[in-house]
Structure 1
Amino acid sequence: MRGIPPLQAIILLIALGIVGYAGSQYIDMGNPIIPPVQPQQSAAEDHIVEAEIELIFSSPPHSYTLIQPSTTGEKDRVILQSSPPIDNPTYGNAELVVHRLSPYWLDIRWPEEAEPNSHHFVQIYISPSHGESQRYSFFTSSVEMNETFEYSTGENSHE
């Protein structure tokens, strides 16, 4: 064995080449490790559900707006907007896309004549005709509130 190291090296390289080739063939014939990404539904395929949105304020605000910002470069969609007089609680209906996590912006302005160091509160309850209801709560000590939250009607398990 001492006299033929170059021959042993060549045999070892050939054996490693064969094992490497067989391994790559074995890996390529199996299922991919990462499942393929399914294309997202187009806007025409989105399912829309009606939802009732309830806003409960600590004190009646001067104005409020609930906006769904655009993710496609289109104009932002106003879901709810105040019209005086503002009832407390306030109810509105909106159309939501099913099973899609969507951001929402809530802008509220309370009257300036509130007591100093007073705190304001708003609670949002979204109840869709199909899917999961959800409640959000926000607090501020300012006369203005700008909050962002995300909502989805639930997991897409049976569509």
Structure 2
Amino acid sequence: MSKPVIQVTLGDITTVEADAIANAANTSLLGGGGVDGAIHRAAGPELLAECRTLHGCETGKAKITKGYHLPAKYVLHTPGPIWHGGGQGEPALLAGCYRSCLELALAHGCRTVAFPSISTGVYHFPLNLAAPIAVKTVRAFLTEHPEDFDWVRFVCFDETSRAAYELALADN
């Protein structure tokens, strides 16, 4: 069996056919703007109803729901850290987001996982710092579980993000 592939693409994560997609959620898990709002709109009201039963989620952790009207079977909700300059544990919390999502994906038999760029929108985590953390964390997890995944994809909403993740992938 071949080792899992890490990919970077430009696109809309709500259209990705995967076993699971990650949602850059807020700690309430009840929807918001950006990727979070787009995922909630695309999944339908059933997603919000299920999220209400989860009672939120800590930053750097993750919880799982069904994908409902999305082409993904599951949604991995993970609140990323808000950037406060890097001295409040933001890098470790961001790494925790990716690791927690992959742990849940593994536990639910997901072989294909798509991630947005967590915390780099309204949470202002610098993209040039976030992309290497994301790639390094995912690569390390896949190295520990080489038989359990087919691919992990970073789905970037703009060319700037795509370029940052491509660079991080080439550097790591």
TM-score, normalisation: structure 1: 0.28
Bigger fraction of residues in helix: 2
TM-score w.r.t. the length of structure 2 is 0.26
Structure of higher RCO (CA pairs closer than 8 Å, 6+ residues apart): 2
- Quick check: which one's strand share is greater? 1
